[in-house]
Amino acid sequence: MRHIFAFLLFVFAVGFFAGGVAAQGEGPSDDEVNAIAKNLYCPVCANVPLDVCPTLACQRWRQQIADKLTAGWSEQQIYDYFVEQYGDQVLAAPPARGLNWLVYLVPPLALLLGAVLLGRLLRGAKMPTGAGAEPLDTIYSDYAKRIEDELEERR
């Protein structure tokens, strides 16, 4: 009886651990699918990443990603598949070819040009000095004197 109990316990333990291993081998996790899906945009919805898009079409596309990962496809093969099906607009980062290279070039150049123009503007700006400009303490003291005079008149 004792041997039968030990044998059943052994079978149960092997089945328990083997079941956990089999469950892990069924397919990619949601995190693995979403790691790829976040770099793709929904071809139906405008500017919505595939990993957060709630449409039924996006659910199917995420399932396609999971199926392709299960079949052994690499990330790049999956990206190439979606580009082949829907064009470059499905990629979160467009490839640097054709006019797409402007996306990578124009913003840094605009920032650099803005910094140069701002530097020249600030360098060319002068503080008012000379006959027409009064020191701030004189302006404030005149203002304070006018306020005091008005308060005296009202008393």
How confident is the model over 90-122, as pLDDT tens digits? 888 777 666 666 777 788 888 999 999 988 888
Q: What are the tokens at 111?
A: 């920032």
pTM: 0.49
Q: What is the CATH number of domain 27-93?
A: 1.10.8.640
Q: Please tell me which residue, 134 or 60, carries the higher pLDDT value.
A: 60
